[in-house]
């Protein structure tokens, strides 16, 4: 029997799938997996719907390993991959070796390199959607980061098409809070792999995360309101 937290996560993901039409008939979805709690939760929940959802869809998963992040979750991910009937791909890329002389490796540049590899892999294999494990906290953090550091009102929409690639990004965890995902993954049989990337230790995202916690005092309602504001824009007052 499913626990309360599993039911809650399942309900929120189902709501997101319907609210934003994230899965449509005959979609071919590539799930990007890191081995962490967020993408593992995403993979487990989409896998539970594979072959049982109201419309047919194809599904595969991929893990992209860079050449500098410590820790190797391949064995951990293989234990997950072996449990499901769909393909699970492992792709190694040399991010650090691509840095030109005179430039330093940073989180944004690395993320861009990994995203390009992901998009090109998806395009070459005929996927039309890529599922990412961004949750509610990631989304509102990005919203405020862009407002403060870029001077623009933008974020991580639950569904967004790419202009240069024939694929769309979907974020089925958009209603799920990080705290809920932590509780969810603790009840599964899968241990959490944590990336120990040195560039993420003192990032702007962590600073924003602390500020949001102070601003909302951990209130789920206030966090949801920040998320809703992305769709409830009063243009006459901007």
pLDDT band of residue 111 (cuts 50, 70, 90) is: confident
81 is a domain residue:
yes
> What's the pLDDT tens digit per position in 5-51?
999 999 999 999 999 999 999 999 999 998 889 999 999 999 999 99
Statement: the pTM of the whole predicted model exceeds 0.75: yes
Residue 237 domain-assigned? Answer: no
Full residue range of the structural domain in which residue 53 is found: 4-231
Exposure b/e, 188-218, CB count within 10 A at least 16 = b: eebeebeeeeebeeeeebeebbeebeeebee
Residue 40 lies in a domain: yes
pLDDT tens digits for range 140-160: 999 999 999 999 988 899 999
Pick the range with the lowest mean pLDDT from 7-16, 42-51, 108-117, 175-184. 108-117
Give the dihedral sign, CA 225/231/237/238.
positive
Note the pLDDT of residue 109: 64
Would you say residue 38 lies in a domain? Answer: yes
The answer on pLDDT for 107 being more than 90 is: no
| CA-based R_g, the chain, Å | 18
Residues whose CB falls within 8 Å of the CB of residue 157, separated by 6 or more in sequence, listed in order:
171, 230
Q: How many domains does the chain have?
A: 1
- In a domain? residue 56: yes
DSSP string, 161-216: E-SSSS-EEE-TTTT--HHHHHHHHHTSSPPPP----GGGTT-HHHHHHHHHHHHH
pLDDT of residue 191 exceeding 80, the answer is no
Q: Is residue 19 part of a domain?
A: yes
Q: Is residue 79 part of a domain?
A: yes
117 in any annotated domain: yes
CATH number of the domain at 167, please.
Answer: 3.40.50.620
């Amino acid at each position: 029997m499913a626990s309360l937290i599993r039911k809650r996560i399942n309900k929120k993901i189902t709501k997101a799938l319907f609210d934003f039409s994230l899965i449509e008939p005959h979609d071919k979805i590539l799930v990007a997996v890191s081995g962490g709690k967020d993408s593992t939760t995403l993979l487990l929940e989409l896998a539970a719907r594979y072959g049982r959802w109201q419309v047919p869809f194809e599904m595969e998963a991929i893990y992209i390993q860079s050449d500098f992040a410590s820790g190797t979750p391949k064995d951990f991910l293989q234990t997950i991959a072996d449990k499901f009937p769909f393909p699970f791909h492992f792709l190694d890329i040399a991010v650090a070796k691509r840095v030109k002389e005179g430039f330093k490796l940073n989180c944004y540049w690395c993320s861009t390199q990994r995203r390009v590899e992901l998009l090109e892999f998806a395009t070459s294999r005929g996927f039309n959607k890529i599922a990412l494990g961004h949750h509610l906290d990631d989304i509102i953090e990005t919203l405020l980061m862009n407002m403060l550091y870029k001077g623009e009102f933008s974020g991580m929409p639950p569904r967004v098409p790419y202009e240069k690639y024939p694929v769309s990004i979907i974020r089925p965890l958009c209603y799920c809070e990080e705290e809920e995902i932590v509780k969810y993954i603790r009840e599964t049989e899968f241990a959490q792999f944590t990336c120990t990337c040195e560039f993420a230790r003192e990032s702007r995202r962590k600073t924003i995360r602390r500020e949001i916690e102070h601003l909302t005092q951990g209130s789920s309602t206030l966090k949801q309101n920040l998320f809703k504001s992305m769709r409830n824009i009063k243009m006459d007052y901007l």
